[in-house]
Amino acid sequence: MKAFKLVLAVWLGVFWSGTAAGGSTGQMIGAPPPSDFFFSVAMGEIPGHTLMEKFGENPDIDTADGFVTIWDAGGDYAAPTIPRVHDVVSTLAADAGTVLESGTATGGSLTTLEDTGATFIASGVVAGDRIINDTNVTIATVTNVDSETVLTAFVGMIDAGSGLNSTPNASGDSYRIVTDASTGASILHINGLGAAHTKLEEFVVLNGVGVVATAGTYSHIHRMRIFTAGNKEALGTITADSPETVPTTTAQIINGNNQTLMTLFSCPLDKICHIVQWWAAMAKKQTAVSVVRLRGGTLGGTSYVLQTRAIDNGGDSAFNYIYPVPETLPGGADVWIEADTDTNDVGISAGFTLILMDN
């Protein structure tokens, strides 16, 4: 908390300059942004603070659409009406993994997994396969099959969101060893919020065109990201659908992206979210004018325009606004970016940066 207040003091002590025309750009004068602070947050060195970068693209906005959310499924975004188990599926059978072995660890460390009841060699586990720790929601790559009961992992168990070394394997942890079943992606990481509006995440082993139900019930999905046992990519479009009366896509990964492109986020109930930056740009070679709005509130309910900008490819086709003092949202609030257009077939990319602070 003291570190964050210090950063605010630094921000308040510098001069601020910005242009008011469509495509406004804010810029610090007299001192650079506190990049050392952001780096420290990203490295997990400041307790109670995490960094969230959200970015996305709506590839096709038409005049009749009005204001729609910037996300890769197109159209306006609709969150599940209540927390729900989601159906995960690919459009191609090639996106599939095989669980070679699963069980409960009897020991281990950041770079080892031990299970005295396992048969790793007999099960066909080899270097390059993935270790998923479902208890800690971490992942690692097998570098050596030491014996039937011990595996060594490259680098160590990794947090899928931050990419940093995380909790060591320990006795009592549930695990799965996964290999690619085909030529596409095999593992999907889902990050979102659960029934209590608190953080929820898991790894899903894909089954191609076969539906796999999530273990958790999600009220929001913030990001999905592909993991494989080899140097492979998702070959189909992978979706997580909320099976309501009319099934609704909550998140999707388009072939080639290997992660969702969603410019929306819901602040966990136990956090305070500070918006420190937002931006938008034209994403297609199209003669058009678009109004882009940053909104906060409740998706599908009451919300407020926090800022608005105009962009066009005949003038300022992009902007990047850095807040002199962060815009603050309470736990439970949604934040997203939306846009309209005066021409059909317009693509808009956009994003924002958040600091999440323990409440």
Tokens of 263: 């410019």
| Domain ranges, ordered by start, for the chain | 2-77+264-358, 84-95+182-253, 97-180
The burial of 256, by beta-carbon neighbours within 10 Å (0-12 exposed, 13-18 middle, 19 or more buried), is given as exposed
* pLDDT tens figures, 223-235: 999 998 777 899 9
Same fold, 2-77+264-358 and 97-180: no
The per-residue pLDDT for 35 is 63
Instruction: Check pLDDT > 80 for residue 14.
Output: no
Cβ contact 205:114 at 8 Å: no
Which CATH architecture does the domain made up of 97-180 adopt? Beta Barrel (2.40)
Instruction: Check pLDDT > 70 for residue 29.
Output: no
Which CATH architecture does the domain made up of 2-77+264-358 adopt? Sandwich (2.60)
Instruction: Check pLDDT > 80 for residue 285.
Output: no
Write down the pTM of the prediction: 0.86
Residue 32: pLDDT band with limits 50, 70, 90: very low
Q: List all residues 6 or more positions away from 322 whose beta carbon is below 8 Å from its beta carbon.
A: 26, 27, 28, 33, 276, 277
The per-residue pLDDT for 314 is 76
Place of tokens 């299970």: 115
* pLDDT tens figures, 146-160: 999 999 999 899 998
Q: List all residues 6 or more positions away from 177 whose beta carbon is below 8 Å from its beta carbon.
A: 99, 100, 101, 102, 120, 123, 125, 129, 130, 131, 132, 142, 151
- HSE-CB at 294 with a 13 A cutoff on CA atoms is 25
Look at the chain and count its residues.
Answer: 359
